[in-house]
């Protein structure tokens, strides 16, 4: 009888030990991330501590049981005052151990940031801040800070020239310093390609001036085949000291982008961006031009045209003229069409 009791106790201890071992194994290696997730990316803001991370994981539905995660985090010495920030892809069905190892590694899932068709720094800030942690306010502060901009070779007027339209892979928690550094590298790489710097030098213009002229061409036409011709017109005017008289610069100067027809009263608006009042290029771009447009300015069509105006219709094409007389004829034709369409 005594021997049976000893055997029974021994078996009970083995079973209890097995149960405890199984429980610990399940807590560590068992599934604790739901198989189906509403959102597969976890965002950990810069400066997050462990307690805040646990709250985010639980609130965002990344944990089945936050208490088991908390235990494993303690065993794995993951409880810290600082958590690696970033955007992390979470796989449904992961265990506590897999989730903690992934977050501890700092192995982020990058974001594809695309920007083009941007009018100004504020517009760009709104687009980029949708992808990365710094908000648009911080972005604008950097790109309107004159001392900082001068230190990297730009000004408030030319800040947009730093950004070449494209799609870039960035980490969500990219700082503004890192973003600016990356854009400088991409900018230098862009101008080094296809002899762009040499082409700009041959035209007697700086990179920022090429970008600025391209921004005007961008707003002047929707027809790709016209871009090199329009660039040629403006370069002809610049070389002869004739004011550019570009309507898009007036619209930009006024800041009312709903204007459909530039009137004489608009031409009197005093701004260095108003190329009806001031000779030469404006102090900076009026939008972010497409790469195609920058290249059109770098390889302009050679001709004697000094004028152009829109042709009647909505195709976006223009009529070109070498003389003021020819231009006025084209302009009157277009004005009659505008009046017929009741475009004020």
236-254 pLDDT, tens per residue? Answer: 999 999 999 999 999 999 9
Q: Assess if residue 199 is contained within a domain.
A: no
Cα-Cα end-to-end distance for the chain: 109
* Residue 99, number of CB atoms within 10 A of its CB: 23
Q: What is the dihedral sign for C-alpha 124, 130, 133, 137?
A: positive
Whether residues 36 and 71 fall in one domain: yes
Q: Assess if residue 44 is contained within a domain.
A: yes
Q: Assess if residue 65 is contained within a domain.
A: yes
Whether residues 231 and 304 fall in one domain: yes
Provide the whole-model pTM.
0.86
**Residue 311 pLDDT:** 86
| Average pLDDT taken over every residue of the chain | 90
Which stretch of 20-24, 93-97, 108-112 has the lowest confidence by average pLDDT? 20-24
pLDDT one-digit tens code per residue, 37-48: 999 999 999 999
Domain end among 66, 82, 105: 105
The span from the CA of 206 to the CA of 153, in Å, is: 12
The span from the CA of 16 to the CA of 21, in Å, is: 8
Structural domain boundaries, residue 281: 205-340
Contacts 24+ apart (CB under 8 A), 203-206: 203/235, 203/298, 203/300
Does residue 200 surpass a pLDDT of 80?
yes
pLDDT-based confidence at 15, cuts 50/70/90?
very low
Domain count of the chain?
Answer: 3
Q: Assess if residue 3 is contained within a domain.
A: no
Q: Assess if residue 6 is contained within a domain.
A: no
Whether residues 305 and 213 fall in one domain: yes
**Residue 102 pLDDT:** 96
Extract the tokens encoding 101.
């190892």
Domain end among 144, 167, 193: 193
**Residue 310 pLDDT:** 85
pLDDT-based confidence at 17, cuts 50/70/90?
very low
Q: Assess if residue 12 is contained within a domain.
A: no
Domain end among 153, 169, 193: 193
**Residue 11 pLDDT:** 46
Whether residues 226 and 324 fall in one domain: yes
Whether residues 236 and 335 fall in one domain: yes
Q: Assess if residue 303 is contained within a domain.
A: yes
């Amino acid at each position: 009888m005594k021997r049976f009791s000893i055997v029974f106790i021994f078996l009970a201890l083995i079973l209890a030990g097995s149960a405890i071992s199984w429980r610990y194994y399940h807590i560590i290696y068992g599934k604790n991330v739901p198989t189906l997730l509403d959102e597969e990316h976890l965002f950990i803001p810069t400066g997050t501590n462990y307690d805040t991370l646990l709250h985010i994981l639980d609130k965002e539905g990344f944990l089945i049981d936050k208490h088991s995660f908390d235990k494993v985090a303690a065993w794995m010495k993951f409880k810290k005052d600082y958590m690696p920030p970033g955007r992390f892809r979470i796989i449904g069905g992961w265990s506590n151990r897999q989730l903690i190892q992934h977050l501890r590694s700092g192995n982020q899932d990058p974001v594809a940031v695309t920007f083009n068709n941007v009018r100004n720094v504020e517009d760009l800030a709104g687009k980029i801040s949708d992808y990365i942690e710094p908000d648009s306010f911080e972005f604008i502060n950097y790109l309107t800070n004159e001392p900082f901009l001068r230190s990297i070779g730009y000004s408030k007027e030319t800040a947009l020239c730093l950004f070449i339209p494209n799609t870039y892979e960035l980490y969500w928690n990219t700082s503004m310093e890192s973003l600016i550094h990356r854009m400088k590298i991409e900018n230098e790489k862009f101008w080094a390609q296809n002899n762009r710097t040499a082409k700009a030098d041959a035209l007697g213009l700086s990179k920022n001036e090429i970008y600025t002229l391209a921004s005007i061409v961008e707003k002047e036409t929707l027809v790709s085949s016209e871009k090199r011709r329009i660039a040629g017109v403006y370069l002809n005017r610049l070389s002869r000291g004739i004011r550019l008289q570009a309507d898009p610069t007036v619209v930009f100067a006024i800041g009312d982008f709903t204007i459909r027809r530039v009137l004489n009263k608009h031409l009197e608006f005093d701004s260095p961006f108003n190329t009806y009042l001031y000779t030469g290029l404006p102090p900076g771009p009026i939008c972010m031009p497409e790469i195609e447009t920058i290249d059109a300015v770098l390889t302009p069509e050679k001709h004697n045209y000094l004028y152009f105006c829109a042709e009647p219709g909505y195709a976006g094409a223009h009529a070109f003229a070498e003389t003021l007389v020819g231009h006025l004829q084209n302009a009157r034709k277009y004005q009659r069409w505008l009046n017929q369409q009741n475009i004020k």
